[in-house]
Amino acid sequence: MDQPSTEDAGLKLLTSPPVFDSLYAFCSPGDLCCVAKTCNGASQAVTNYLTHSVTIDLSRLLLRFFTSQEEILDFRRLQAKHQFLISGSAALQLLDRTTYPNSDLDLYLFPHDAEVVGRWLIEHGYTFSPYRRGKKTFEEALEAMPLPRTELDNDELHERTPYGLPGVRAVLNFKKVTKRDLGLLPVTSSPGAPRYHFAEAKTAEIQLIIADVTPYEAILKFHTTVVMNIITWDRAIALFPLGTLEQRRGIVTHNASWSFDRCVDKYADRGFSFLKPLARFKEDFERGPFRFGPRFFGDEHSWVVKLDTTGIEPPEIPVAVEGNSWELEWDDAYDCFALRAERLDWSMVHHKYCISDSFLAYIIALYESFNKPENAGQYTQFFDSDPDLRLAKLSSDDKASYNSGKDVQVLSLLLRHFRDAREADLLAERLKHL
């Protein structure tokens, strides 16, 4: 009788659901990535495990704010429709597989979605809870929503939100008294037969953080890299997984005078350490978890976990998540680290994006080359090179025009060419030193 090979036995161990459900729970994200690299079967097993387990963990997290699985599904449908982000401590808890008791739920919205999401919360039992100096009602808060940052002076910029964060237009707070389905709890201190009482009600708190342009920009303006994690309608992404989830380290991305020390101290108390500015020339910023240079949401240095979206309709015009980018750098003017990104408001795409300086420079240079007489027709050829795009139509002046709405295809095409060009430049630079 033939005995199974060691390789077959190992593969069966790695891909057997009863085994990996128990085994993988003890693996860090880095460990799971190593397992996934062993073979195709293990890669698929890890992907399936993460999708299943993280989706369940997301439901458990949201049960602190909603009363049933049906309500959670409705919430996720709302998220898919309006494509807002869950971030802050909630996203960190999900990806770090931990729990911070009494933490709130931060939702990062596009500029014009505050009313519809706020009214949905009110319909599901939440009450608008103004800040001490804020408007008393939700309607008044909507009416008083500040203008975009470009139309405000410096004093208004500093005072306009409780966080004082760039990229944030307003913050609206909602609360709801919740009851856990824990039944009756015994009062053990009473003599004789035990008496019972209901568990005390808890208050759930949800903050709507409305972005000036895009919620992705607001995420990049956080006080530390530790909380730069997001949950979209169909995936969860850690931007600095090696530093945050494996090494439990971060860097502070604000100046000491900006009054975010309390926020940093909170995460230091939760077990994270933060690199000092003098460490900026070390390997961490060359090949390590906090490398300089252009980065993209969901790139090869991110950790991306797909979520189960059964029963959820995809958005009509999806945001190109990977189209948002940044560059980590040292800001001499403010004497601190910063994640640099420029806003992209472009007729070729439906949504607003934030992109790195180098990616923006590439797009500008590309379009300048298209406009040269000797390159006539290259504009159409470039975009029609993608079989999923091909949006070119000749207008009355014989110039190609495109209808916006295929953000994913447009930005994916540009990113591919940008990365190819960047690789070519890096190779040329290396060859100079040979």
List, for residues 344-371, the tens digit of each pLDDT value: 888 888 999 999 999 999 999 998 998 8
Q: Which of 79-83, 376-380, 414-418 has the lowest mean pLDDT?
A: 376-380
Q: How far is residue 29's CA from residue 304's CA, in Å, rounded to a whole number?
A: 10
Structure tokens at 415: 């990113």
Q: Are 354 and 345 in contact (CB under 8 A)?
A: no
Structure tokens at 226: 């530790």
pLDDT band at 297; cut points 50, 70, 90 = very high
- Closest C-alpha to 322, from 213, 212, 230: 230
Beta carbons within 8 Å of 185's beta carbon, 6+ residues apart: 196, 197, 198, 199
Tell me the whole-structure pTM to 2 decimals: 0.86
- Closest C-alpha to 355, from 417, 298, 297: 297
Name the range with the highest mean pLDDT among 22-26, 120-124, 178-182, 371-375. 120-124
The pLDDT of residue 190? 46
Mean pLDDT of the chain: 83
For the chain, give the longest Cα–Cα distance.
96
pLDDT digit string (tens) for 98-140?
999 889 999 999 999 999 999 999 999 999 999 877 678 999 9
Residue 289, classed as helix, strand or coil, is coil
Q: How far is residue 110's CA from residue 213's CA, in Å, rounded to a whole number?
A: 7
Residue 336, classed as helix, strand or coil, is strand
The pLDDT of residue 401? 55
Q: How far is residue 152's CA from residue 174's CA, in Å, rounded to a whole number?
A: 26
Question: How many CB atoms are located within 10 Å of the residue 385 CB?
Answer: 12
Structure tokens at 391: 């949006």
From residue 425, alpha-carbon distances to 54, 68, 378 in Å are: 39, 53, 22
pLDDT band at 204; cut points 50, 70, 90 = very high
Q: Are 306 and 54 in contact (CB under 8 A)?
A: no
Residue 26 amino acid letter: F
Q: How far is residue 158's CA from residue 166's CA, in Å, rounded to a whole number?
A: 9
Strands 105-109 and 202-211: parallel
The superfamily (CATH) of domain 63-181+199-326 is Beta Polymerase, domain 2 (3.30.460.10)
The pLDDT of residue 395? 43
- Closest C-alpha to 294, from 237, 357, 338: 357
The pLDDT of residue 301? 94
From residue 389, alpha-carbon distances to 383, 403, 419 in Å are: 7, 11, 19
